[in-house]
């Protein structure tokens, strides 16, 4: 099997492809929100740019922020579970919601704000691949407000078999695709929007613009990993120095810090 160098989960590819092909993005959002495509009368992408200077920011998000029929909709893909993901998503929602009210306007003018997360890990203890959350009263299940909503789509829970008429599963299976064979399987279903998305994928990944942005993104990841490594090493060296002053055995210090016995003996000579 030929593994794809980039997938629809690659954040730079995700952002560039769907910004450059808003017709595809509109179809994707319609499927994710469960609304007919023809019912989307207002569709605006609010953050089209990928700023190269921000790619190195540890907290850089390559999400797509939209206005859909008056609602604020934020769509992002998350590959790794770095912990506290629901809290992170709620923070994003709070930032969007709290800054959406123009000065002097009534609170009733706050827009419905929806966060959509396509995630490549299991988050909830359930069999369903789609979870939708809103604030409800815990005993009566009365809806507090429809202006808060969180959609989670867990790719690892997708069924293997589905119909070419199921737009939601087609899109999510495209995001799940890891190999050339996975894309070919979707192409053989002869669904026009899937073929259009796959053709756009090959066009984007072959472009010099994408390659440069991905190079900068990869360099940022490497620089961050190096910075974390050096910070950890400095911390371990400081712990080792303190442990040596407390007369701890070198073997115990090695287990505690991960430093070699030779490195610990070198530190001993400095004290």
d(CA 233, CA 226): 11
136 contact partners, CB below 8 Å, separation of at least 6: 142, 143, 144
In this prediction, residue 239 carries a pLDDT of 87
270 band by pLDDT with thresholds 50, 70 and 90: confident
Pairing of strands 43-45, 130-133: unpaired
* Mean pLDDT to the nearest integer, 261-265: 81
- Please report which helix (H) or strand (E) contains residue 44, including its range: strand 43-45
Average pLDDT, the chain: 90
pTM of the model: 0.80
Q: Dump pLDDT digits (tens) for 173-213.
A: 999 999 999 999 999 999 999 999 999 999 999 999 999 88
In this prediction, residue 217 carries a pLDDT of 76
Look at residue 53 and tell me whether its pLDDT is greater than 60: no
Helix spans in 145-207 (H): 167-176, 180-187, 192-205
- Listed range (17-31, 108-122, 138-152, 235-249) with the worst mean pLDDT: 235-249
103 band by pLDDT with thresholds 50, 70 and 90: confident
In this prediction, residue 184 carries a pLDDT of 95
In this prediction, residue 87 carries a pLDDT of 95
Q: Dump pLDDT digits (tens) for 150-161.
A: 999 999 999 998
Answer for the pair 78, 117: CB distance below 8 angstroms, yes or no. Answer: yes
Look at residue 57 and tell me whether its pLDDT is greater than 60: no
In this prediction, residue 267 carries a pLDDT of 79
* Mean pLDDT to the nearest integer, 242-259: 83
Q: Dump pLDDT digits (tens) for 129-184.
A: 999 999 999 999 999 999 999 999 999 999 998 999 999 999 999 999 999 999 99
Q: Which two tokens stand for residue 40?
A: 């989307």
d(CA 221, CA 58): 8
In this prediction, residue 101 carries a pLDDT of 83
């Amino acid at each position: 099997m030929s593994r794809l160098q980039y997938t629809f989960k690659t954040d730079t590819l995700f952002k560039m492809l769907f910004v450059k092909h808003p017709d595809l993005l509109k179809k994707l959002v319609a499927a994710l929100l469960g609304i007919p495509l023809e019912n989307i009368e207002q569709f605006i992408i609010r953050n089209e740019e990928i700023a190269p200077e921000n790619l190195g920011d540890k907290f850089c998000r390559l999400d797509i922020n939209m206005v859909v029929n008056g609602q604020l909709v934020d769509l992002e893909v998350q590959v790794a579970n770095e912990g506290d993901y629901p809290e992170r998503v709620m923070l994003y929602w709070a930032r969007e919601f709290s800054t959406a009210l123009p000065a002097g306007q009534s609170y009733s003018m706050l827009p419905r704000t929806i966060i959509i997360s396509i995630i490549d890990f299991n988050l909830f203890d359930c069999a369903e691949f789609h979870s939708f959350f809103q604030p409800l009263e815990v005993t009566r299940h009365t809806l507090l407000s429809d202006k808060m909503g969180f959609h989670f789509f867990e790719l690892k829970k997708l069924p293997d078999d589905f119909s070419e008429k199921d737009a939601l599963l087609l899109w999510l299976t495209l995001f799940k695709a890891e190999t050339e064979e996975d894309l070919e399987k979707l192409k053989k279903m002869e669904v026009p929007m899937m073929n259009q998305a796959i053709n756009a994928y090959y066009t984007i990944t072959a472009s010099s613009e994408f390659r440069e942005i991905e190079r900068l993104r990869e360099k940022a990841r490497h620089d961050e990993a190096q910075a974390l490594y050096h910070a950890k090493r400095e911390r371990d060296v400081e712990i080792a120095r303190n442990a040596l002053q407390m007369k701890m055995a070198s073997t115990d210090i090695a287990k505690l810090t991960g430093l070699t016995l030779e490195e610990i003996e070198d530190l001993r000579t400095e004290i």
